[in-house]
Chains A and B, each alone.
Chain A
Amino acid sequence: QVQLVQSGAEVKKPGASVKVSCKASGYTFTSYGISWVRQAPGQGLEWMGWISAYNGNTNYAQKLQGRVTMTTDTSTSTAYMELRSLRSDDTAVYYCARELSVGASYYFDYWGQGTLVTVSS
């Protein structure tokens, strides 16, 4: 069965970086893209960006351009999201999600369990 398993919770100081991993299993990793979505405490869902596991192409949310980098390791079927220059408003649960494309449409059909990143001095 398809599973996305994320790394554990992190506590970081303002200005630091965090790298969250998302290990995929149960499907051909390079046949799908991975999106990252975050959710601040008590808030809604915010799309952060997408990476093609096939060729590494990326598309980042404009507000995070320059601070976020998404990568994949196809040898281990793992996707990574690194966020730099952390601020307190980056405190959130970070999710990876598999992106399924059907024709011109796409949707997120499987999600990781979430990784809480807390930014605090």
Chain B
Amino acid sequence: DSGVTQTPKHLITATGQRVTLRCSPRSGDLSVYWYQQSLDQGLQFLIQYYNGEERAKGNILERFSAQQFPDLHSELNLSSLELGDSALYFCASSEGKYRASQTGELFFGEGSRLTVL
């Protein structure tokens, strides 16, 4: 158990809908990362938050947004969903204070599997 909790584990919805994925990082971790994993694209970095502030942005679509709350949990909001958004969405956390751990170790949750029909 990595200590990172993600909900829901599975989600089935229709095109055009909006969903929210939730992540609780490991106790004490200030950084939260969101990744998308699909069969053809592998693990793609979406966005990182550190202590409530956006720190880095990757290949995140404008239809997607995220935030990190004062209690350090994070939410990823996906709107106007398309079939191609079907994927596994992972949240990860790290112990970084001012930057990610030098070893690059991220602790991943078990993911939220999104299916868009």
Q: Are the chains A and B members of one assembly?
A: no
B residues bordering A, Cβ < 8 Å?
none
| A residues with CB within 8 A of B | none
